[in-house]
Amino acid sequence: MRRFRPLLALLVLVPLATTSSQAEDWPQFRGPTGTGVITDAKPPAEWSADKNVRWKVAVAGVAWSCPIVIGDKVFVTTAFSEGQPKPKSGGGFGGGKGGGGGGGGGGGAGAPKATYQFKLVCLERATGKTVWEKVVKEARPTIPTHGSNTYATETPVSDGERVFAYFGMTGLFCYDLSGKELWKKDLGTHAMQAGWGTASSPVLAADKLIIQCDNEEKSFLAAFDTKTGNEVWKVERREKSGWATPFVWKTKDRTDIVVAGAQAIRGYSPVDGKVVWTLDVGGGQSSASPTGDAERLYVGVGQGGGGGPGGPKGGGGGGRAAGTLFAVKAGAKGDITPKAGETSSEGVAWAASRAWPAASSPLVYDGFVYTLDRNGGTISCFDAKTGKAAYTKERIPSAGAFWASPWAADGHIFCLDETGATHVLKAGSEFDLVRVNKLGRDTYWASPAAASGALFIRSVDALYCISAK
């Protein structure tokens, strides 16, 4: 059933709290658990360009990296070069001409000749004022990037004492919260598919910093000591270029580092990097990141996977339909790939075809899994336990393309499209659009951060703090 509710009354503005003790940090891509679920003080459910905006600041350069929040500080990364164009919005990667990220060619042209400043910026959470700004490296990019991508697409991560900023082939940098450099690493330069650039963000597994670098030449997954930057372990991967971020999946029995790849999804041990389980998906584009809860992990590859149109031929995954969404059981071990024609196995609870998004990551919330279609402006909803579709490819009226990942709070699902419109739906088995919140005209691909009742939304030109208090 489709319903559209009128906008709610204005919320009363009160001063924004600044004490870090009241905030649950948002230390990485998609928050504390990497799932996009807000569990502490809820941000407002309604905002616009002139309503519930506590502050708005410009950040020099261009980036699709998401903001993170640690106590009273907000951190962002950016890549700046004089005269650089903005990223091109609309559509997906397809080998087009270079643009916003740095003028590199999406179709395989060389890296730009301009020198870039790769920056880590610290802002005051209460006001948006710059606390400090560090140029972690000044150099020419070593690889091209697509006109829709940037040279600062990877989201930083923090353990509460240090901030780790990863700029793909440019390097890995560690700073303390006061802006002092602690260590840095050069992880090498490797070509990416069609010159599309990089995007996989780092994550933390206890005292290890995890980096996924899937590329055309020498893909790997590596763990580094957070204090020293020393390599703890490194394993080779047979997958080619990918842009998904690893997911640290914590269940009652163990913790897995789940890595989505074009040919297979694998769970790795954070202790030594050994493969714990493998799910062969047959091929496709790997951009959306896995998510999960204590019982199941939800993962797949984007359109063109499993032998679908436009992607590699199907492998062991059985030539499945493009965009298959899999639910992996907690405790999975070994090869858990379902047999051809089947949708479950000893390690797979269910599989739903044509459900996995191409870019934005899925959301699991209150018993349902939600996926957004990148270009279609549609949303699908599945029962998290059984995989039964509640609704599929439901068109959200006037929605643009979805690149940012959805988030959930207080019984609602929030879907930010690239035009800056956030479509708010009531969580549950029925499609129920509650309202649409619109910000200024710009391009929005970064997923928001949330802390202490505030929401931080990044566009190409600005960073917004949305708060009713």
- Cα-Cα-Cα-Cα dihedral of 72, 34, 198, 211, to 10°? 90
pLDDT of residue 374: 80
218 to each of 241, 253, 441, how far by Cα in Å?
A: 10, 32, 40
Percent of the residues in the chain that have a pLDDT greater than 70, as a whole number: 87
DSSP string, 245-282: PPEEEE-SS-EEEEEE-SSEEEEE-TTT--EEEEEE--
User: Which of 455, 350, 326 has the alpha carbon at shortest distance from 53?
Assistant: 455
Q: What is the reported pLDDT for 303? A: 59
- The CATH number assigned to the domain with range 53-86+110-304+320-467 reads 2.130.10.10
CA 431 to chain centre: 24
Query: Distance between CA atoms of 13 and 51, rounded to whole angstroms?
Result: 9
Q: What does the pLDDT read at residue 19?
A: 37
Question: 10 Å Cβ neighbour count for 271?
Answer: 14
Length of the chain: 469
Distance, in Å, from the CA atom of 129 to the CA atom of 433, rounded to the nearest integer, reads 35
Tell me, what's the pLDDT at 358? Answer: 78
> Looking at residue 109, what is its pLDDT?
56
Provide the whole-model pTM.
Answer: 0.90
* Measured distance CA(31)–CA(24) in Å, rounded: 9
User: Any bridge partners for residue 38, and if so which?
Assistant: none
CB 436 within 8 A of CB 399: no
Q: Where are the domains of the chain?
A: 53-86+110-304+320-467
Q: Record the tokens describing residue 213, joined without a space.
A: 């670098």
Q: What is the pLDDT of residue 357?
A: 78
Q: What is the pLDDT of residue 319?
A: 52
Please identify every stretch of the chain with a pLDDT value under 50, giving residue numbers as ranges.
Answer: 1-23, 93-108, 305-318
Alpha carbon 224 to its chain centroid, in Å, reads: 21
Distance CA 224, CA 384 (A): 34
